[in-house]
Amino acid sequence: MSFLKSYIQSFKDILNFFKFRKDIKNEFYLRDSKFNRYNLKTNWIGDVVYVQIDCSEEDLMKANYDSEEMIFKKIQPIVEYLSQELNWGDYLNPQIANFVDEDNNPSLSYGVLFIFYPIYGSRIKVLFDVLFSMCVVSAGLVYSVLKCLV
């Protein structure tokens, strides 16, 4: 019974992933959307939304030289948009990375990733469930075709 419940939950995650991709794509194609105003982008798979945040020395001084506080203030409207307006807060995991220059000195540019993670299982488990479903459907189709031919 737990296998069936786990399989159903993974299937819900897969459906939510495709709904997430559709929502993000719709927002991308709307010229006046906040997605475009915030200069958000997505990768080709559609599971990562990212943005580059450029800060100035003045921004850093306003935050008392606390770069984390500065970044959190700058991404707060983006987080509210993704989590409250588009309702994807449960599935998105933000990650922040500082860019470095050619001498490995930290710069004032940051990359912020919002990665879609399934709630009920890991990415590997969801992939396994998709492959298992495809095998079951393929076996059913082959059986039906062979039964019709015989």
Q: pLDDT by residue (tens digit) across 91-112?
A: 888 888 888 878 887 788 888 9
- Which of 30-39, 54-63, 65-74, 137-146 has the highest average model confidence (pLDDT)? 30-39
In the predicted structure, residue 55 carries a pLDDT above the cut 90: no
Q: How confident is the model at residue 1 (pLDDT cuts 50, 70, 90)?
A: very low
Q: What is the pLDDT of residue 63?
A: 66
Say how far apart CA 78 and CA 83 lie, in whole Å.
8
Contact 53, 60 (CB under 8 A): no
Alpha helices in the chain (DSSP H): 2-29, 34-37, 57-62, 67-80, 123-149
Answer with the residue of higher pLDDT: 23 or 124: 23
